[in-house]
Structure 1
Amino acid sequence: MTGAALQSGAGDDDDTLTLFRDTATRFFERHAPAEALERWREQGVVDRDFWRGAGAAGLLAPSVPEAYGGVGADFRYELAVIEEIGRLGLEGFGAPVHSALAAPYLVHFATEQQKREWLPKVVSGELVLALAMTEPGAGSDLRGIRTRAVRDGDDYVVDGQKTFISNGQTADLILLACKTEGDRISMLVVEAASTPGFMRGRNLNKMGREAQDTSELFFESARVPVANLLGPEEGQGFEQMRDLLAQERLVIAAMAQAMMERALSLTLAYTKERHAFRQPLFGFQNTQFKLADARTQIAAGRAFLDSGVARHLKGDLDAVTAAMIKLWITETQWKVIDDCLQLFGGYGYMDEYPISRLLRDARIDRIHGGASEIMRTIIARSL
């Protein structure tokens, strides 16, 4: 599937997007059966073979330009993969971070040499990406990070610690936010296998998304080549992060939207099969009203998300609207999935029922990418 095909006329492009989504669905259904999902949850990480298989299927970083091994697709193709991950219960697969959050830093800010060296391997799954921003004492307030890089000849000497880093155990390239001269934030690309002084900490235990490796990272006089700086000069990191925040929040909202759509589908099937007091649960007015509310909220979320994606494709999605989309959809996601779980009764509390996992997996979406309280602050400042 060529980049030209992915950017053809409107009608043809809709058909091509549908074919691409079908490819994602078939790959995930074939290569991520229930037994594989359970194994990944138990081991706390998705197998590297699965990453490489997704790359071979064209599902990793499809928006990378053809010149660097990608297909040059637009953001809708990234969302197609994300939504299929959410729809099929694969939230533990860290492809959204790799493809739609981290890879754009290389596409937009890397030098030509850096792009040619790294991006083809990012697309193939040979290199897995992580974003290392959060620290034990700095989460949503990125100006408070303490990891520091000091220039020493042709290297930066990096000292600091990161935590809650998705893909942290798996990543080969780590996009590191750190302080450089003048306390300005810069982004460095850390090549994990060849960086002395870099260490991975433990794979953190979480209440949900157990298959997504989430780690502490340590830098003790780690030496990173100056050539691995992202951008033409130091101090560009905060602006780089700000430029990509709208897309990050759309990615989180898209996953949340897909997850609540899945919750409704599971609940409809369950309430029509499960009987109580000699009739299906779906026959009770309370059940119908709860599901009607959920369906309405899901439809509103889909419309809000689609409008944001349309604006993002035109390049005019502002930070406030992106914050509103993430806030509304993730808060609604939590309510919808919780209401759906209630209709399962005691079975909804059992781990073997997917609705139980969905509720746990959903909880992070109101926190990462900027907590709901930060979204409200951004919105309030615009009033």
Structure 2
Amino acid sequence: ALPGAMRMLLLLISLTAVQVSSLSLSAAVARVQTRYLHPVMVSKGPRDLPDEEQDRLWKQEQQRELQRRQEENEGNEFEEDERDKLVEMSSDLGRVPDLSPIPGPPVPQPDVNTSDPRPLFVAVRTFNPRQMPSDTLTEQYVEWVSEATDLICRAGYLLSADSFDGFEEADGTVLSDEDLDELDEQDKDLEPEMQDLGVQFVSGNVIVARAEEIEPLDEWMQEDPIGEAGGYEQTSLHRWLRSDDVKLNHPQVQGPSYLIHCLDKDGQGDLRARTREAHLQWLMESGRVHLGGALQSHEGEVAGNVGTLLVVNGEDLHEVRQWAAEDPYTQAGLFARVNIAPLLEYNVQDLLEL
């Protein structure tokens, strides 16, 4: 009969907890236990006493029996305790709940790493002396670059001077703004070709690109419209080992930056190695390098580095040239050729991150 009694107990506990809402669950259990599992068996006493007296004695005996059983069950989990009375669910039980957010597991985020693992390459191409591409040829060049946004990080052009105010033609004639506008209109009707203007405003182009290897990039460079028109006097293409040191990545100041493109004399790897630390220290102390790094030989790392490419902030072209002359590499006689020029960007969209 025990399993059945236990089932009944559980049922009665559930019912009592609902019906007697002013009692705690332990009090409800105690009440059910007293009423159903341990009934109080008390005789009402002699029959010769008046009914009222018998009832009074019976109630006293019942009270004593209940008190005795409560004392026996003292410390029992079923003992009634007024402190455990149920309260309305709207009460906070005397405690203010802590509703502060609980940290959960990290929320998965999409891969936002946009860095391109392909190495950097830089092409520096200078125009023939006294020549510049016509407007039509320049438009073809920009279109050609714009179609290679899977390669290009930077597409810039080199100026021959900081300013061209009041420049003179070869015969000494000073051109006004109106004269320049007229030349622009005439240039629109010209074929895509290099023009001998007697003065050179733009001295060349610079491309910074990413590619797995230099050979496919070199093949793409052969399609340069200006190159096909025979417009370049000198061209170079090297892997650029751009430094990520914070001291060589200062923010670009307002206005044009200045490109410093240097190529070593042949067979001077030992001289470069001996002078490298002094060169790096000089660059870091300057606080003006926006981008910088060595140019690697076409034969790769084994053959060493054969040049330096810097993009720096400066007051003007003359000041930058004076500063570059103090480079320990220059002082040691490492370079065979140095090109320093103001650097501006073509309006090419959707370029890769540098």
Q: Would you call these one fold, judging by a TM-score over 0.5?
A: no
Greater fraction helix: 1
Work out which structure has the larger RCO, using CA pairs closer than 8 Å and 6 or more positions apart in sequence.
2
User: Higher Cα Rg: structure 1 or 2?
Assistant: 2
TM range (shorter): under 0.3
Output the TM-score relative to the length of structure 2: 0.24
Greater fraction strand: 2
